Amino acid sequence: MNALSPPQLSAPTKQDRRGLLASRLFETRRHSLELAGPLSAEDMTPQAMEDASPTKWHLAHSTWFFEAFVLEKHLDAYQPFDETFGYCFNSYYESLGDRQPRARRGLLTRPSLERVLQYREHVDQALEKLLNENLAPDAEVLRLVEIGVNHEQQHQELLLTDILALFAAHPLRPAYRTHLRGGLPDEPDPLQWIEYPGGVHRVGHQGDGFAFDNERPHHDALIHPFRLADRLVTNGEWLDFIADGGYRAASLWLSDGWTTLNRDDWRAPLYWECRDGQWFAMSLDGLTPVERAAPVVHVSYYEADAFSRWASARLPTEFEWEVAAQDSPPNLSPKSNAISSRALWPSPAKQPSDGRPRQMFGEVWQWTQSAYSPYPGYRPQKGALGEYNGKFMVGQQVLRGASFATPYNHSRSTYRNFFYPHQRWQFMGLRLASEITQ
Ligand SMILES: [Fe+2]
């Protein structure tokens, strides 16, 4: 072999896979605690609203998930840490028993934070035993641990969205962390449209890499020619929408959206406040002036849809978005998201457009006009894990991409996030699409 020849790589063995998974598992477990680092025990206990859970609950629930789905079934003689924790920290798994109602998680002043941290240690030690001492863990154990890791990472983003909801409801608008902003452009680049031909495209996840069950099966989708904006909608454009009476023009709104707007008195995105004629927005670094060039965030599907109509455009379908993202590089650098780079808000588009859409990943989740429904041939997993995704496939809309707070390895073109059309506390924004008229 020539000295410069690349080494011949063999397929990873089960032991390699076990080692990689173990290191990712414990890195993920540590990172949840790092995210809780800036918070006091008092910060971690209440919840701001039904949708948002306390930090302490997230730390305990992601631990319960490993206990319920991995350890109790696959580690011989495993002793549950506390028999009452299933009631406290089961989220929505009907087949695993009764649970604390979601809206009342903030009433769980007990167990204490200290006891939840002990719970985490107990489960970590058991997972270490399962993965280290069992020299040939079967493929099913590795599969379940991998789901548990991805599940805990989803809760890491939720931890941040939920602590923001709590701090935005606090009269002093405290910051989760402070971070110097600066160097932002006053205005965004002009929006460019990228054209895509129609045709039959393969969509959905294919291959051996990790994906949630709702991303499969891989299948064909017919797409008509369309245009996609090369960047996200910005705060400046949203300010123009407000100034033009966007929140007062019923003709722009879906009926359910107009009802919600009037019921909840929407006049701007969630967390925006007008003080002495200037708009401010609450984010993880506290209350700061709205920056025109930054992507708008914390808007509902109803708002995104109304804005699109005002802009003489529409939201993309999830498959249009996916086809456009297929040649758009995902954020693979660990430094590309809040969790490791310490970015606390979405950033303006930086690089000039190279003919591919920018900001597909790592800024805000992007609403699509697609209802969250099963792909052709979809079957939920057997057992309690079948409740993970499948039972939510009604009444929600798909969001694509990834936010600045999404763990980087969740940035993939097939990932399907989903929320109800009135919800806006997640890091949600939008990108425009339009028809190509001949
Ligand atoms: Fe969960």
What residue ranges define each of the domains in the chain, with the CATH number in brackets?
A: 14-169 (1.20.120), 193-435 (3.90.1580.10)
Q: Please say whether the beta carbons of 14 and 139 come within 8 A.
A: yes
Instruction: Compute, in angstroms, the gap from residue 137 CA to the centroid of ligand 1.
Output: 24
Q: Which two tokens stand for residue 138?
A: 């079967």
Q: Please say whether the beta carbons of 401 and 304 come within 8 A.
A: no
Residue 11, pLDDT score: 57
Q: Check whether 251 has a pLDDT greater than 80.
A: yes
Residue 213, pLDDT score: 93
Cα angle, residue 245 at apex, residues 239 and 250 outer, rounded to 5°:
130
Residues contacting residue 4 through CB under 8 Å, at least 6 positions apart = none
**pLDDT average, residue stretch 173-195:** 85
Residue 187, pLDDT score: 83
Instruction: Compute, in angstroms, the gap from residue 93 CA to the centroid of ligand 1.
Output: 9
Residues contacting residue 377 through CB under 8 Å, at least 6 positions apart = 217, 219
User: 183, 176, 178: which is closest to 161 by C-alpha?
Assistant: 176
The mean predicted confidence, pLDDT, of the chain is 91
Residue 409, pLDDT score: 87
Chain centroid to CA 14: how far? Answer: 30
Instruction: Compute, in angstroms, the gap from residue 229 CA to the centroid of ligand 1.
Output: 33
Instruction: Compute, in angstroms, the gap from residue 247 CA to the centroid of ligand 1.
Output: 34
- Provide the 3-class DSSP secondary structure of residue 49: coil
Q: Which of 16-20, 42-46, 91-95 has the lowest mean pLDDT?
A: 16-20
Instruction: Compute, in angstroms, the gap from residue 160 CA to the centroid of ligand 1.
Output: 14
Instruction: Compute, in angstroms, the gap from residue 63 CA to the centroid of ligand 1.
Output: 10
Instruction: Compute, in angstroms, the gap from residue 150 CA to the centroid of ligand 1.
Output: 10
User: 67, 144, 158: which is closest to 105 by C-alpha?
Assistant: 158
Confidence of residue 340 (pLDDT cuts 50, 70, 90): low
Give the DSSP per-residue string, 378-422.
Answer: --PPSSGGGGSSGGG-SS-EEEEE-BTTS-GGG--TT--EEE-TT
Instruction: Compute, in angstroms, the gap from residue 388 CA to the centroid of ligand 1.
Output: 8
The environment of the single-atom ion ligand 1, i.e. residues with CB closer than 5 A, is 91
Instruction: Compute, in angstroms, the gap from residue 62 CA to the centroid of ligand 1.
Output: 6
What sign has the CA pseudo-torsion 151, 35, 418, 190? negative
Greatest alpha-carbon span in the chain: 73
Confidence of residue 369 (pLDDT cuts 50, 70, 90): very high
Instruction: Compute, in angstroms, the gap from residue 401 CA to the centroid of ligand 1.
Output: 20
Chain centroid to CA 65: how far? Answer: 18
Instruction: Compute, in angstroms, the gap from residue 61 CA to the centroid of ligand 1.
Output: 7
Instruction: Compute, in angstroms, the gap from residue 161 CA to the centroid of ligand 1.
Output: 14
pLDDT digits (tens, 9 = 90+) for 305-329: 999 999 999 999 999 999 999 877 6
**pLDDT average, residue stretch 228-241:** 97
Q: What is the CA radius of gyration of the chain?
A: 22
Instruction: Compute, in angstroms, the gap from residue 108 CA to the centroid of ligand 1.
Output: 17
Measured CA distances, 64 to 80, 85, 216 (Å): 10, 8, 26
Instruction: Compute, in angstroms, the gap from residue 16 CA to the centroid of ligand 1.
Output: 28
Instruction: Compute, in angstroms, the gap from residue 268 CA to the centroid of ligand 1.
Output: 30
Give the DSSP per-residue string, 5-44.
Answer: SPPPPPPPPHHHHHHHHHHHHHHHHHHHHHHHTT--TTTT
Instruction: Compute, in angstroms, the gap from residue 28 CA to the centroid of ligand 1.
Output: 15
Measured CA distances, 437 to 222, 226, 370 (Å): 17, 9, 21
Q: Check whether 10 has a pLDDT greater than 60.
A: no
User: 90, 87, 91: which is closest to 51 by C-alpha?
Assistant: 91
Instruction: Compute, in angstroms, the gap from residue 124 CA to the centroid of ligand 1.
Output: 17
Q: Which stretches of 346-389 are assigned E, i.e. beta strand?
A: 365-371
Q: Which two tokens stand for residue 8?
A: 């011949």
Instruction: Compute, in angstroms, the gap from residue 371 CA to the centroid of ligand 1.
Output: 22
Q: Which two tokens stand for residue 160?
A: 């941040």
Instruction: Compute, in angstroms, the gap from residue 143 CA to the centroid of ligand 1.
Output: 17
Helices (H), strands (E): how many in the chain?
11, 12
Instruction: Compute, in angstroms, the gap from residue 151 CA to the centroid of ligand 1.
Output: 6
pLDDT digits (tens, 9 = 90+) for 342-366: 678 898 987 777 888 999 998 999 9
**pLDDT average, residue stretch 424-428:** 98
Confidence of residue 330 (pLDDT cuts 50, 70, 90): low
Give the DSSP per-residue string, 214-255.
Answer: GG-S-EEEEE--EEEESS--BHHHHHHHHHTTTTT-GGGS-H
Instruction: Compute, in angstroms, the gap from residue 85 CA to the centroid of ligand 1.
Output: 14
Tokens 């993309």 sit on residue: 316
pLDDT digits (tens, 9 = 90+) for 174-184: 999 987 777 77
Instruction: Compute, in angstroms, the gap from residue 88 CA to the centroid of ligand 1.
Output: 13
Instruction: Compute, in angstroms, the gap from residue 148 CA to the centroid of ligand 1.
Output: 9
Q: Is 84 exposed, middle or buried (0-12, 13-18, 19+ CB in 10 A)?
A: exposed
